[in-house]
C-alpha cells in the first residue's frame, strides 16, 4: 500500500505538473526610503544631468506625473517585431505598478507626430504617450542618440522660489531608431524603450553614477522580466504616493510614509525559468526571469505547420493576498504566430500560504482564457477574459515560456515547458 502511494506521487510529479513546488519566502532586499528619495530628488531637481561624457541637459524644477494613467499608442506602420518589443516594454512598466495605475492601451496613432517636441507635442492629445520607430536618428536630443523620450509639460512661475516649475504632465512621446535596433538583440530595444517610456512617465533626468543599477542611468541595463528594484520602487512612489506635481524641496525619506525594504515573495522554478509575485509597499509585482533564446520563435527550427504547446504552473496573489495556483498552458500556431494562454484548475489558499497540489478553494470559475500573439520572442494577449497576459520565451530552442497575468482581482506569473 505504501509503495503504491509512493509510485502514484512520483507519477503525478513526473507527469502533468512539471513545475517545482512553489514556496513563500521573506523576499528580496529592496532599496531604502533614503535611496528612493535621493533618486526622486535628482529627477525633481531639474538637473543638470549627464548623458555620456560630453552631453548634459536640464529642465525646469519639479517632478510631475500623469494625473490619471496615460494611454499608450503605437504609431502606424510598426513591424510585428517592433510592436512586440513595444508591448513587452509597456508590460515591464505595468508589472511594476498596481493594476489601477497601469498604462492603458489605445488604437494606433498617426505616424510622424512624435517628433515635434519643441512645439510641446501639439499633435499628441492630452493624457497620451505615442511610441514611434523612425527610419534614422530621433529628431532632437543628444547628437547621435538612437532613442528619445520627451514630456510635454505645463509650467508655472513660483514667486516664492523665484523659478519656473513643472506643474502638469500633459503628454509624452518616444522615438526609436528603427534601422539601428533592427539588427540588435530584442532585449536591447526593450531596455532602451523602457528607459524612454520612464522619461515620458515623469522621470526627466538620469539619476547619476551612484545608481548604476538603474535603467534610467544605464539604458542598456539588461532587463529580464522585471524592472530594476530602484526604478520599480521610484515609479511606485511617483504613481501611488506623490501628487501630480512635487517640488524638489518636498521630497524626503519621510515623505514616502511607511516603507518596506523587504518583500514577501511567492516563487516557482521550472528549469532555468523562475516566476512569481513579489509583494511590498502595498504593490504586488509579478516577475519572470530566464535566458533569452538566440533566435526568434519563428526561426526556431520547429516545423511551421505545428501548433506547439508549453505546459506548467501559475502562481499569484489576490488583492487581499490570498495565494492562487493553477495549471498554465500556452499554445502557438507557428504558421500564424497566434495562439492561446489558458489557465485551469485555479484554486485559492489562505493569505500568503504555500499552495498545495490539492486543496484550496476554486478561484473564480477556475479558468482564464486569452488569445495571444507572438512577435520575435515575446507574447501578448489580444483578447479573451478581462486582464492582460504578457510573456517571453526562454531557453535553448524555446523550450520554456514565462509570463504574467494581471487583472483587478489577480496578479500572477507562470512558467511552462514545451
Ligand atoms: Zn535618458
Q: Where does a domain end: 234, 256, 278?
A: 256
Confirm if 165 and 156 have CB atoms less than 8 A apart: yes
Ligand 1 centroid distance, CA of 195 (Å)? 6
Q: Tell me how far the alpha carbon of residue 207 lies from the centroid of ligand 1, in angstroms.
A: 10
CATH code (residue 344): 2.40.160.90
Q: How far is the CA of 208 from the centre of ligand 1 (A)?
A: 11
Query: Which DSSP category does 210 fall into?
Result: G
Kindly list the distances between the CA atom of residue 31 and the CA atoms of 26, 74, 178, in Å, as whole numbers in the listed order: 15, 33, 35
Number of separate domains in the chain? 2
Q: How far is the CA of 58 from the centre of ligand 1 (A)?
A: 12
Asked which of 256, 283, 303 is the last residue of a domain, the reply is 256
Q: Does pTM top 0.85 for this prediction?
A: yes
Cα of 218 from ligand 1 centre, angstroms: 8
Instruction: Examine the domain organization and report whether 330 and 362 are in the same domain.
Output: yes
Burial of 280: CB neighbours in 10 Å, binned 0-12, 13-18, 19+: buried
| Shared domain check, 287 and 368 | yes
Q: Are residues 223 and 178 in the same domain?
A: yes
User: How much distance in Å is there from the Cα of 196 to the middle of ligand 1?
Assistant: 6
Output the CA 148–ligand 1 centroid distance in Å: 7
Would you give per-residue pLDDT tens digits along the chain (418 residues)?
233 322 222 223 333 344 455 666 667 789 999 999 999 999 999 999 988 778 888 999 999 999 999 999 999 999 999 999 999 999 999 999 999 999 999 999 999 888 777 788 999 999 999 999 999 999 877 778 899 999 999 999 999 999 999 999 999 999 999 999 998 999 999 999 999 999 999 999 999 999 999 999 998 889 999 999 999 999 999 999 999 999 999 999 999 999 999 999 999 999 999 999 999 999 999 999 999 998 999 999 888 888 999 999 999 999 999 999 999 999 999 999 999 999 999 999 999 999 988 889 999 999 999 999 999 999 999 999 999 999 999 998 999 999 999 999 999 999 999 9
Distance 219 CA to ligand 1 centre (A): 7
User: Ligand 1 mean position to 357 CA, how many Å?
Assistant: 46
Q: How far is the CA of 6 from the centre of ligand 1 (A)?
A: 57
- Å from CA of 205 to ligand 1 middle: 6
What separation in Å is there between the alpha carbon of 89 and the centre of ligand 1? 15
How many angstroms separate the alpha carbon of residue 199 from the centre of ligand 1?
7
Distance, CA 161 to ligand 1 centroid (Å)?
A: 27
Cis peptide before 48 (omega within 30 of 0): yes
Q: Is 277 found in the same domain as 395?
A: yes
- CA 394 to each of CA 43, 304, 411: distance values in angstroms, whole numbers, following the listed order: 35, 19, 21
Give the DSSP per-residue string, 317-350.
Answer: E-TT-EEEEEEEEEEEETTTTEEEEEEEEEEEEE
* Cell numbers at 268, concatenated: 516557482
Burial (CB count within 10 angstroms: exposed 0-12, middle 13-18, buried 19+), residue 235: buried
Q: How far is the CA of 29 from the centre of ligand 1 (A)?
A: 26
**Does residue 86 share a domain with residue 136?**
yes
pLDDT tens digits along 81-92:
999 999 999 999
CA distances from 69 to 57, 92, 137, 374 (A): 27, 15, 29, 26
Task: Quote the ligand 1 centre to 179 CA distance (angstroms).
Answer: 19
- 3 state SS of 86: helix
How far away, in angstroms, is 93 Cα from ligand 1 center?
Answer: 16
Query: Ligand 1 centre from 408 Cα, in Å?
Result: 32
Q: Do 203 and 197 contact (CB within 8 A), yes or no? A: no
CB 412 within 8 A of CB 298: no
C-alpha cell at 123: 499633435
Q: How far is the CA of 301 from the centre of ligand 1 (A)?
A: 38
CATH code for the domain of 132? 3.40.390.10
Give whole-number Cα distances, 360 to 170, 299, 307, 345, in Å: 46, 41, 33, 10
Domain range for residue 203?
33-256
Ligand 1 centroid to Cα of residue 369, in Å, is 38
Ligand 1 centroid from CA 61, angstroms? 17
User: Distance from the CA of 400 to the center of ligand 1, in angstroms?
Assistant: 33
Find the 151 Cα to ligand 1 centroid distance in Å: 12
**Domain check: are 154 and 231 in the same one?**
yes
| Spacing of C-alpha 178 from chain mean position | 21
The alpha carbon of 232 and the centre of ligand 1 are apart by a number of angstroms equal to 16
Q: Give yes or no for a contact between 343 and 306, defined as CB atoms under 8 angstroms apart.
A: no
Whether residues 190 and 80 fall in one domain? yes
- Residue 117, burial from CB neighbour count under 10 angstroms (0-12, 13-18, 19+): buried
Please count the helices (runs of H) and the strands (runs of E) in the chain: 6, 22
Q: How far is CA 166 from the centre of its chain?
A: 26
> E-assigned strands of 135-242?
147-158, 163-177
Residue 184 CA to ligand 1 center (angstroms) comes to 19
CA distance linking residue 276 with residue 286, whole number of Å: 6
The alpha carbon of 149 and the centre of ligand 1 are apart by a number of angstroms equal to 7
Domain stop point among 238, 256, 274: 256
Do 250 and 275 reside in the same domain of the chain? no
Alpha carbon of 203 to ligand 1 centroid (Å)? 9
| Residue at 11 is within a domain | no
Helix-helix angle 229-240:80-96, to 10 degrees:
70
Helix, strand, coil percentages (3-state) for the chain, rounded to 5, are 20, 40, 40
User: pLDDT tens, 152-191?
Assistant: 999 999 999 999 999 999 999 999 999 999 989 999 999 9
Indicate if 234 and 327 belong to the same structural domain.
Answer: no
Alpha-carbon distance of 109 to 174, in angstroms, equals 12
Per the CB < 8 A criterion, the answer to whether 128 and 71 are in contact is yes
Q: Do 289 and 185 reside in the same domain of the chain?
A: no
Amino acid at each position: 500500500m505504501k509503495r503504491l502511494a509512493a509510485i502514484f506521487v512520483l507519477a503525478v510529479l513526473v507527469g502533468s505538473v512539471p513545475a517545482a513546488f512553489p514556496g513563500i519566502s521573506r523576499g528580496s532586499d529592496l532599496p531604502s526610503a533614503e535611496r528612493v528619495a535621493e533618486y526622486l530628488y535628482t529627477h525633481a531637481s531639474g538637473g543638470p544631468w549627464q548623458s555620456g561624457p560630453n552631453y548634459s541637459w536640464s529642465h525646469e524644477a519639479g517632478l510631475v506625473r500623469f494625473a490619471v494613467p496615460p494611454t499608450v499608442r503605437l504609431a502606424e506602420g510598426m513591424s510585428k517585431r517592433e510592436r512586440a518589443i513595444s508591448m513587452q516594454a509597456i508590460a515591464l512598466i505595468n508589472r511594476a505598478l498596481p493594476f489601477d495605475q497601469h498604462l492603458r492601451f489605445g488604437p494606433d496613432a498617426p505616424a510622424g507626430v512624435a517628433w515635434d517636441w519643441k512645439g510641446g507635442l501639439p499633435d499628441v492629445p492630452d493624457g497620451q504617450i505615442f511610441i514611434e520607430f523612425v527610419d534614422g536618428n530621433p529628431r532632437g536630443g543628444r547628437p547621435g542618440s538612437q532613442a528619445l523620450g520627451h514630456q510635454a509639460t505645463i509650467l508655472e512661475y513660483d514667486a516664492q522660489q523665484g523659478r519656473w516649475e513643472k506643474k502638469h504632465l500633459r503628454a509624452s512621446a518616444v522615438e526609436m531608431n528603427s534601422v539601428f535596433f533592427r539588427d540588435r538583440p530584442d532585449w536591447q530595444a526593450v531596455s532602451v524603450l523602457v528607459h524612454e517610456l520612464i522619461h515620458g512617465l515623469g522621470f526627466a533626468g538620469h539619476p547619476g553614477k551612484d545608481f548604476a543599477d538603474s535603467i534610467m542611468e544605464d539604458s542598456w541595463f539588461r532587463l529580464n522580466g522585471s524592472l530594476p528594484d530602484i526604478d520599480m520602487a521610484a515609479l511606485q512612489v511617483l504613481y501611488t504616493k506623490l501628487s501630480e506635481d512635487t517640488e524638489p524641496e518636498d521630497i524626503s525619506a519621510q515623505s514616502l510614509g511607511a516603507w518596506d525594504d523587504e518583500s514577501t515573495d511567492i516563487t516557482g522554478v521550472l528549469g532555468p525559468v523562475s516566476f512569481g509575485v513579489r509583494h511590498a509597499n502595498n504593490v504586488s509585482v509579478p516577475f519572470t526571469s530566464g535566458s533569452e533564446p538566440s533566435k526568434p520563435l519563428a526561426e526556431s527550427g520547429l516545423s511551421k505547420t505545428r501548433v506547439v504547446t508549453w505546459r506548467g504552473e501559475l502562481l499569484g496573489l489576490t488583492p487581499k493576498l490570498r495565494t492562487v495556483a493553477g495549471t498554465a498552458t500556452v499554445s502557438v500556431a507557428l504558421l500564424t504566430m497566434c495562439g492561446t494562454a489558458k489557465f485551469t484548475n485555479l484554486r485559492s489558499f489562505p493569505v500568503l500560504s504555500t499552495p498545495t497540489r490539492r486543496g484550496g478553494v476554486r478561484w473564480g470559475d477556475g479558468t482564464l482564457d486569452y488569445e495571444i500573439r507572438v512577435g520575435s520572442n515575446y507574447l501578448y494577449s489580444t483578447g479573451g477574459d478581462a486582464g492582460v497576459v504578457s510573456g517571453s520565451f526562454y531557453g535553448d530552442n524555446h523550450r520554456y515560456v514565462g509570463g504574467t497575468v494581471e487583472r483587478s482581482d489577480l496578479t500572477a506569473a507562470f512558467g511552462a515547458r514545451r
